[in-house]
């Protein structure tokens, strides 16, 4: 068996319509996986990605999925069961951002950030975890951030949400690992995606100046980390980890 082969596996990727999620979907498909993509209000964009994957010979489909909504997540789970069959690999790339000084962060701002990132990670993982445990196989990959460890001015709500994901992954890995359901996270540094574009020019300039590599990352530089964690052999001994392709940002 090839170390990074995903042949015969099915992956469901939220936020797979753009950025890191799209790069992961493309790489997974190239390694043999059937791909389901969950999007939130991005149907046209998502349909284009699925068309590209199908043109490459992959099995691919998409559905709406607001990870912060229990009803929407349950509908996506049911769609996966009917359309794709059992999901072997779950990747949650859905996310939002936005920088504000702490005194300007409203309760609504805080709730929205935790709702998408932390509540969303909980809901989408819970939806698929039980079935993976019953089948005694699964790879769950959530997205944290290097800012969960180091923090950043103007991003208190974002850092808090991402730190919560670190705890979720570490705790859940104890429950999943005995059944070969490996739960891990990727904690990237700043990556050129739509989310980064939601941050102010001042924040972007400040951040770029700090990075040892002198630039922001690219989505296709993050996707191989997901492939490692998703693969049957390559990901077999990763448990409760937060792998961090961050361009040296954690050293700053």
pLDDT digits (tens, 9 = 90+) for 26-79: 999 999 999 999 999 889 999 999 999 999 999 999 999 999 999 999 999 999
Residue 132 is assigned to a structural domain of this protein: yes
For position 120, what pLDDT does the model report? 98
Mean pLDDT (whole number) for 144-169: 95
CA dist 209 and 200 (Å) reads 14
CA dist 146 and 150 (Å) reads 7
CA dist 206 and 112 (Å) reads 25
pLDDT digits (tens, 9 = 90+) for 183-218: 999 999 889 887 777 777 887 888 788 888 888 899
Q: How confident is the model at residue 233 (pLDDT cuts 50, 70, 90)?
A: very high
Q: How confident is the model at residue 1 (pLDDT cuts 50, 70, 90)?
A: low
Residues annotated as catalytic are 158
Residue 13 CA neighbour count, 13 Å, CB half: 33
pLDDT digits (tens, 9 = 90+) for 85-106: 999 999 999 999 888 999 999 9
Residue 79 is assigned to a structural domain of this protein: yes
Mean pLDDT (whole number) for 108-115: 97
Query: Got the DSSP string for 6-71?
Result: -TT-EEEEETTTSHHHHHHHHHHHHTT-EEEEEESS-HHHHHHHHHHHHHTT--EEEEE--TT-HH
Q: For residue 168, what are its two tokens?
A: 């979720």
What is the average pLDDT value for the chain, to the nearest integer? 94
For position 160, what pLDDT does the model report? 97
Sort strands 138-143 and 34-39 into parallel, antiparallel or unpaired. unpaired
Residue 59 is assigned to a structural domain of this protein: yes
Sheet holding 10-14, edge to edge: 60-64, 34-39, 10-14, 89-92, 138-143, 181-186, 242-243
For position 252, what pLDDT does the model report? 59
Range of the domain at 115: 10-244
In contact, 121 and 165? CB cutoff 8 Å: yes
pLDDT digits (tens, 9 = 90+) for 12-34: 999 999 999 999 999 999 999 99
Residue 203 is assigned to a structural domain of this protein: yes
For position 195, what pLDDT does the model report? 75
Residue 2 is assigned to a structural domain of this protein: no
Q: What CATH number is associated with residue 63?
A: 3.40.50.720
Residue 129 is assigned to a structural domain of this protein: yes
pLDDT tops 90 at residue 251? no
For position 162, what pLDDT does the model report? 97
Residue 184 is assigned to a structural domain of this protein: yes
Closest CA to 177 of 132, 125, 242: 132
Residue 1 is assigned to a structural domain of this protein: no
What's the total number of domains in the chain? 1
For position 238, what pLDDT does the model report? 97
């Amino acid at each position: 068996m090839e170390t990074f082969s995903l042949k015969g596996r099915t992956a469901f990727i939220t936020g797979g319509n753009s950025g890191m999620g799209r790069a992961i979907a493309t790489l997974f498909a190239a390694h043999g996986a059937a791909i389901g993509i969950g999007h939130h209000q991005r149907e046209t964009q998502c349909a284009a990605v699925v068309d590209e994957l199908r043109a490459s010979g992959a099995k691919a489909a998409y559905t709406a999925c607001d990870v912060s909504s229990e009803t929407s997540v349950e509908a996506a789970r049911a769609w996966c069961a009917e359309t794709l069959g059992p999901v072997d690999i779950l990747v949650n790339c859905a996310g939002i951002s936005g920088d504000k000084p702490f005194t300007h962060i409203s309760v609504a701002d805080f709730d929205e950030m935790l709702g998408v990132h932390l509540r969303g990670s909980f809901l989408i993982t819970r939806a698929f975890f039980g079935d993976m445990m019953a089948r005694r196989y699964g790879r769950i990959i959530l997205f944290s951030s290097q800012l969960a460890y180091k923090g950043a001015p103007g991003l208190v709500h974002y850092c808090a949400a991402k730190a919560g994901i670190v705890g979720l992954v570490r705790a859940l890995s104890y429950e999943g690992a005995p059944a070969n359901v490996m739960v891990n996270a990727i904690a990237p540094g700043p990556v050129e995606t739509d989310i980064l574009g939601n941050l102010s020019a001042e924040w972007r300039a400040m951040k770029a100046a700090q990075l040892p590599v002198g630039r922001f990352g690219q989505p296709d530089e993050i996707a191989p980390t997901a492939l490692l964690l998703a693969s049957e052999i390559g990901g077999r001994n990763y448990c409760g980890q937060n792998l961090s392709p961050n361009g040296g940002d954690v050293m700053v």
